[in-house]
């Protein structure tokens, strides 16, 4: 029951943050550490971390046990979160939730960087499907070697070496 109240409180905070979005000009406020964040940056970051808390529950609380560590996490990631549109942020969180439900071990814990990567569909080369390509022919290899020799010849000439080809 207490967890349900916490969730309700978080949702209410998110709603009130979204409703107080005023004019199109976003004022900048000064934080206690001297970092400048716009109201929209703060709103996005608070919403992102609140959704993380809702998605990950107790694991979120273990990772960020008190308000101070949550605040530090928000401050650390605010600029990267702000680079996303609202839709991209929502899609990233939905993808992370789907991966968590599917049992993907990479998404068992709330990893902000990994989740933000989902927004831009960043995958490393091991996960990308590459087009099938035929090996280079001898003509291509020879042309590349010739271009390389000519380039190195120019470098050697600039360095004053006498054995450039």
Q: Are residues 99 and 160 in the same domain?
A: no
18 and 87 assigned to the same domain: yes
pLDDT (average), residues 82-92: 92
Same domain, 142 and 111: no
- Indicate the pLDDT class of residue 58, thresholds 50, 70 and 90: very high
CB atoms within 10 A of CB 116: 21
Mean pLDDT over each residue of the chain, to the nearest integer:
79
Is the predicted pLDDT of residue 61 greater than 80, yes or no?
yes
Q: Are residues 48 and 117 in the same domain?
A: yes
The torsion defined by the Cα of 83, 87, 92 and 98, in degrees rounded to 10, comes to 180
pLDDT at 22 over 90: no
Same-domain status, 8 and 88: yes
Q: Which domain holds residue 101?
A: 2-127
Q: Are residues 8 and 30 in the same domain?
A: yes
**Are the C-beta atoms of 76 and 37 separated by less than 8 Å?**
no
Same-domain status, 69 and 7: yes
The answer to whether residues 151 and 116 belong to one domain is no
Q: Which two tokens stand for residue 163?
A: 């054995």
CA nearest to 11, candidates 44, 54, 45, 43: 54
Q: What's the pLDDT score for residue 2?
A: 67
On whether both 30 and 77 belong to a single domain, the answer is yes
Count how many domains the chain has: 2
Q: Which stretch of 1-10, 55-64, 79-88, 92-101 has the lowest confidence by average pLDDT?
A: 1-10
My answer on whether 105 and 162 are in the same domain is no
- Asked if pLDDT for residue 112 goes beyond 80, the answer is yes
Token digits for 140?
A: 């291509």
Name residue, tokens 């709330």: 110
Over residues 77-92, the mean pLDDT reads: 92
pTM: 0.54
Are 15 and 95 part of one and the same domain?
yes
pLDDT greater at residue 11 or residue 56? 56
Which secondary structure element, helix H or strand E, spans residue 92, and what is its range? helix 86-101
């Amino acid at each position: 029951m207490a967890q349900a109240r916490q969730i309700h409180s978080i949702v209410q905070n998110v709603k009130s943050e979204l409703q107080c979005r005023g004019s199109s000009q976003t004022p900048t406020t000064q934080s206690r550490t001297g970092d400048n964040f716009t109201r929209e940056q703060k709103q996005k970051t608070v919403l992102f971390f609140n959704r993380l808390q809702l998605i990950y529950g107790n694991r979120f609380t273990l990772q960020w046990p008190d308000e101070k560590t949550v605040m530090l996490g928000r401050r650390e990631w605010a600029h990267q979160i702000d680079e996303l549109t609202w839709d991209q942020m929502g899609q990233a969180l939905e993808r992370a939730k789907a991966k968590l439900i599917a049992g993907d071990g990479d998404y068992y814990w709330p990893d902000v960087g990994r989740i933000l990567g989902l927004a831009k569909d960043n995958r490393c080369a091991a996960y990308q499907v590459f087009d099938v390509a035929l090996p280079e022919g001898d003509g291509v290899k020879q042309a590349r070697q010739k271009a390389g020799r000519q380039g190195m010849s120019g470098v050697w000439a600039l360095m004053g070496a006498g054995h450039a080809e």
